[in-house]
Structure 1
């Protein structure tokens, strides 16, 4: 809820005013252009509860005088209902999709949140000129990963089109955006529901070791197939031994050094040696001395340190800085 009227911007004030007027006066929206509708709709959908005194103060600001209107609630549902009374369904869906995400405001922002493999699988069936336009609109690092995933001859043709691209007419760009929104993003939303075993693997990854073992053991007694599938999808601390040297060094730069020794206290010799071998001789010696000086440590503290390292590794993998392989043999990296 906004604290005071002075903290509101123009779009938020307009959103409160239109909510207060309600659906009976929805014809006001007809006098706004599409960008104004989008901006006000975005503000409206995140307002929350606005108290009656603020509504009255705002109405007084707008028209000079008006009696108390009562509180209004800005939400996705209320916004969608109001828009539906004045705009065609496809326009309403387009605007609400812009508001909800995935994470970006524009179509090109949204494509930046789609994995390169998924985007490449879609684009490889499009005309090279269309692909070239798309790749010039997304961020360079994302475009490079998409290009490297496309078939080589097709990728080279797209690169050639990008090198010789003329300024793009607005109508063509809008048509490509509409096609992406309807044919790609909508299908992606319908097919991106996570497998329940993947969801559970993420949850199990965040258990401490004792809880994880207890639940997996109980699940194995009831449904061995599901337990095995969850275990295969989980990324655990020991899976860090599958990192390449560059990945280990990247991880070493990112983790809390105080947690490293504690985490390695509970690691296998193979994993310890992997980390030691990717450190300088002096750093390795200091770490070994620190670990020896710790003496006995609590399993809970080791679990916490290991989980912290795993989370950092996952964040690095998400940003494309390292490649992780899970416990599944299908994910083994071949060099």
Structure 2
């Protein structure tokens, strides 16, 4: 069962062909010989034996010229030609320039150049169910001409459909953003997301003989219906995160100040005044406005 599945897919092979320039020279030589023979026969007084030899030569010469001329074809750089014999695949010719094969063989040209595709903006629900808009840029090329021509009906349309499917799959597999940076997200882990998208595309397109060289997200945003609410949430999360860092820093600074005051015997504070100093320092360090200093001209204790 597995062998039948393996052999069901086409595989590119190298087709037989020769340089078209050699056959062009042979055709030109044949043209010159045929023309010279005709002119020589017309300018002389041929006998019966000459006529017997002349008629087959005149008939076969043009036929051979037409036969040779029918086998020429041109392949440009980064282009290939699939050779067919009455519907049977005989191989692929990737040698660019003027080429020649038997005239009864048909040729189907296919480009193996790199193609750049920018997908449409797709609306997808991310891992948390939030609707987002996502689009990707994909650089792909044909790596196996036999699979591209014979294993799928339209390999270009196949590529477009698979790009859309892969982008939707990646978009629904991860959350859009994570303010705590504990998860892999679409917005925060571009390299990982792009690498996974390329791997998935190559797995999907191997059936059509397509290889993805590069891909990446070109558009990523919340859908318009929730963009305002998500922006406010992001702003609130950013404020909370900033406040958290500010408080952590303030606690550290207060602890350091009290430790140094105690170690250097600058002042001795009881628990009540230590609590008051901690409260004042936290207000100064965490407040959004500049602190106004108060000069105590009296004694330390009232």
User: How does the TM-score come out when normalised to structure 2?
Assistant: 0.23
- The answer to which structure has the higher helix fraction is 1
Structure number, greater radius of gyration = 2
